[in-house]
Amino acid sequence: MVALPGDAGVIADAPGLRSLPLVGHERGLARAFPEIVEASRACRFGDCTHTHEPGCAVREAEDAGQIDSLRLETFQNLASSMRVSAQMLDPDVHL
Ligand SMILES: [Zn+2]
Label residue 93 by pLDDT band (50, 70, 90): low
Q: Average pLDDT in the 63-86 region?
A: 91
Label residue 43 by pLDDT band (50, 70, 90): very high
**What pLDDT score was predicted for residue 4?**
81
Would you say 76 and 50 are in contact if contact means Cβ atoms under 8 Å apart? yes
For 7-41, how does the pLDDT look when each residue is reduced to its tens digit (9 = 90+)? 777 777 777 776 666 666 778 888 999 999 999 99
Our CA angle for 78, 19, 30, nearest 5°, is 25
How far apart are the CA of 80 and the centre of ligand 1, in A?
A: 14
Q: How far apart are CA 49 and CA 51, in angstroms?
A: 5
How far apart are the CA of 38 and the centre of ligand 1, in A?
A: 11
Q: Average pLDDT in the 3-7 region?
A: 81
The residues placing their C-beta within 5 Å of ligand 1, an ion, are: 43, 48, 50, 56, 58
How far apart are the CA of 59 and the centre of ligand 1, in A?
A: 6
How far apart are the CA of 50 and the centre of ligand 1, in A?
A: 4
